[in-house]
Homo-oligomer: A and B are copies of this chain.
Amino acid sequence: MEFLDVDTVDSAREKLLSSVISWMAVTEALPIGDAGGRILAEDIYARQDIPHFRRSTVDGYALQSANTAAAGESIPVLLTEKSKVEMGKPAQISLSSGECAEVPTGGMIPDGADAVVMVEYTEVYGSDGIAVYASVAVGENVVQIGEDARAGDLLLRKGRRILPQDIGALAAAGITAIKVIRPPRLTILSTGDELVPIQQDPAPGQIRDVNTFALAELARKSGFHVISAGVLPDDESALEGALRTAMKAGDIVIVSGGSSQGQKDITRELIDKVSSPGVYTHGIAIKPGKPTILGYDDASKTLLVGLPGHPVSAMMVFELLLGWLICEISACSPSPAVPARLARNVASSPGRLTCWPVSLEWTGSEYIADPIYGKSGLITTLTKAKGYFIVDRDTEGLSSGQIILVHLF
């Protein structure tokens, strides 16, 4: 019996990161309108106070709040309307005690005023009189200068995945372009004599090529730029040629397939042949997905990854290594996982980290996570799952009723 000398997920990640950290976090500048969903590569500070003048949050009358202290539903206070503030125009007056000025929602508060009373609590009285039927506190219905952000405030932190509201904040701050992470460029080579194109009916012994499609979409979703994805037969010289071409074209080459021992050895030997220093991880203590190969080429600055041929294994390993990597190089914070109660006991695999796909059901007070059993070759295991959870390699297994964290697909 021969066992591979395998890495833990943590040590594989450490090696992975140290091989690429120096070059993979390449940035590019984008207009904010094109930056949605991208990862911010710089801290963003406000350059000016937002807003830079005092604004009303309601339609009403700007005034001195002290004047309204005695006002009530049946006993109004009478003020003199000195002016109307126009939308988008400076309020070029200053209010004294006893005076007020009409202000629209979003309009500028004149000097001298410290609050706004809503128009619903007022009544026009005579030619320039306003009867106020409610008292207002200092600052009521007013957005103060810098209340949204002060000049110098950190608006958005590096590593953030840009949300629609972030683009709004950038617009408000007058920031028209930002630096984001340029998606690492990746090629997928799916190998196997058994693989046929998806439009073809496979003969006995043959199957359709799943990994090219599934891995390409997972890579795109994770923030990579997929240069190309295609199928190759298990032919050493064809694979070597494709590897060398892909290493010139991009930052990462993924070889999926080669699930049998002999083929795995070929993938490993080829990666070692085309790269230097070459393979640094051959086998990771993870279930599913043990036969994973990591290598690096200094000259072309290419990361080379051999993934299992089984789609579920390939996708889980991709998620745990390359999904993790892109977050790590960009300092991005991962999406929150969903706490859920485990519906049944699950065994651990001693010495290996295990990824369990689960379904999720909301009971009205909590989520119930039910592990989905399936051999790792079954793609429907993942289409039935809402996400997955991780059983650490030092864990003895988990009991029904325990709370776990589900990472959503």
Chain A positions within 8 Å of B, measured between CB atoms, are: 1-2, 32-33, 36-37, 48, 50-53, 55, 57, 59, 85-91, 104-108, 119-121, 143, 147-149, 155-156, 163-176, 192-195, 198-218, 220-221, 234, 259-263, 309, 311-312, 315, 335-336, 338-339, 360, 362, 365-367, 375-380, 382-383, 385-386, 403, 408-409
Q: Which residues of B contact A211 (CB under 8 A)?
A: 168
Give A213 Cβ to nearest chain B Cβ, in Å. 4
Assembly CA distance A104 to B192 (angstroms): 12
Q: Which residues of B contact A312 (CB under 8 A)?
A: 165
Whether A106 touches B221, Cβ cut-off 8 Å, given contacts A260-B59, A339-B339, A386-B336, is no
Assembly CA distance A217 to B170 (angstroms): 13
Given pairs A33-B216, A165-B379, 19 additional interface contacts (CB within 8 A): A32-B198, A50-B379, A51-B377, A87-B205, A89-B193, A106-B194, A108-B205, A143-B375, A143-B378, A148-B377, A148-B380, A149-B380, A164-B218, A170-B213, A172-B379, A174-B208, A336-B360, A338-B338, A339-B367
**Residue among B53, B176, B375 making CB contact with A199, cutoff 8 Å:** B176
Does A217 lie within 8 Å of B36, measured CB to CB? yes
Whether A1 touches B174, Cβ cut-off 8 Å, given contacts A33-B216, A336-B367, A339-B339, is no
Closest to A229 in B: B33
Whether A220 touches B52, Cβ cut-off 8 Å, given contacts A192-B88, A194-B88, A205-B89, is no
Does B53 lie within 8 Å of A166, measured CB to CB? no
Does A168 lie within 8 Å of B210, measured CB to CB? yes
Q: Which residues of B contact A169 (CB under 8 A)?
A: 210, 379-380, 382-383
**Residue among B55, B172, B193 making CB contact with A210, cutoff 8 Å:** B172
Identical copies in the complex: 2
**Residue among B1, B173, B221, B338 making CB contact with A164, cutoff 8 Å:** B221
Give A208 Cβ to nearest chain B Cβ, in Å. 6
Does B155 lie within 8 Å of A383, measured CB to CB? yes
Q: Which residues of B contact A192 (CB under 8 A)?
A: 87-88, 106
Does A336 lie within 8 Å of B338, measured CB to CB? yes
Assembly CA distance A192 to B162 (angstroms): 26
Q: Which residues of B contact A50 (CB under 8 A)?
A: 379-380
Assembly CA distance A199 to B335 (angstroms): 32
Give A383 Cβ to nearest chain B Cβ, in Å. 5
Closest to A218 in B: B164
Q: Which residues of B contact A55 (CB under 8 A)?
A: 207, 377
Closest to A202 in B: B52
Assembly CA distance A221 to B385 (angstroms): 23
Whether A213 touches B171, Cβ cut-off 8 Å, given contacts A37-B221, A104-B262, is yes
Assembly CA distance A204 to B93 (angstroms): 13
Does A403 lie within 8 Å of B171, measured CB to CB? no
Does A57 lie within 8 Å of B214, measured CB to CB? no
Q: Which residues of B contact A311 (CB under 8 A)?
A: 165, 168, 172
Does B168 lie within 8 Å of A382, measured CB to CB? yes
Whether A198 touches B174, Cβ cut-off 8 Å, given contacts A88-B206, A143-B377, is yes
Give A240 Cβ to nearest chain B Cβ, in Å. 19
Q: Which residues of B contact A51 (CB under 8 A)?
A: 207, 377
Whether A362 touches B378, Cβ cut-off 8 Å, given contacts A52-B202, A53-B204, A218-B164, is no
Q: Which residues of B contact A339 (CB under 8 A)?
A: 338-339, 366-367
**Residue among B213, B218, B263 making CB contact with A32, cutoff 8 Å:** B213
